């Protein structure tokens, strides 16, 4: 089986709380290769565009405000079965429901400030990677 890609964000809460290095080590220990990574301040318009799929949901406004509230680290990752593997590595959205040893169980504050983002499909991973990275910014 060949390696595939997924997209991840270390969200402002985890960056602010000093967990970014631990999360990066965790994902590398889980077998992910980092193809691209950068520290960025997501603007409010970027956050609105990136999370537009959730625009009709009650948490949308809070989400875009939070995601534009401080620096984040965006990453393009690669592994066999990358999307599902990353979702398994990060755990449930609500850290209270996340499995022991997952990133969200270890580092998330609550359901809204849940430390990381992960693509939910290979198609969305490709869209999300392209949103933050030019093709020349990725290795591999």
Query: So what's the pLDDT on residue 135?
Result: 86
Residues labelled catalytic: 117
Measuring CA to CA, which residue among 3, 11, 4 is closest to residue 118? 11
Number of independent structural domains in the chain: 1
**What is the CATH classification number for the domain harbouring 116?**
3.30.70.141
Measuring CA to CA, which residue among 73, 61, 69, 56 is closest to residue 15? 73
Residue 59 φ then ψ, to 5° = -90, 0
Query: So what's the pLDDT on residue 136?
Result: 94
Measuring CA to CA, which residue among 127, 21, 19 is closest to residue 76? 127
C-alpha 137, offset from chain centre: 18
pLDDT digits (tens, 9 = 90+) for 119-128: 999 999 999 9
| Domain housing 94 | 3-137
**CA–CA distance, 59 with 133 (Å, rounded to integer):** 26
Q: State the residue for tokens 């959730």.
A: 54
pTM exceeds 0.85, yes or no: yes
Residue stretches of the chain with pLDDT short of 50: none
What percent of the chain lies above the pLDDT cut of 70? Answer: 100
């Amino acid at each position: 089986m060949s390696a595939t890609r997924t997209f991840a964000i270390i969200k402002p809460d985890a960056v602010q709380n000093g967990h970014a290095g631990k999360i990066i080590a965790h994902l590398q220990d889980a077998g992910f290769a980092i193809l691209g990574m950068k520290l960025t301040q997501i603007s409010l318009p970027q956050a609105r565009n990136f999370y537009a799929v959730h625009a009709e949901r009650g948490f949308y406004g809070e989400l875009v405000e939070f995601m534009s509230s401080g620096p984040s680290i965006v990453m393009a990752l690669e592994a066999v079965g990358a999307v599902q593997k990353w979702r398994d590595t990060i755990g449930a959205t609500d850290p209270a429901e996340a499995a022991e040893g997952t990133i969200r169980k270890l580092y998330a504050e609550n359901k809204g400030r849940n430390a990381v983002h992960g693509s939910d499909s290979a198609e969305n991973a490709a869209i999300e990677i392209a949103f933050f990275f030019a093709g020349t910014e990725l290795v591999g």
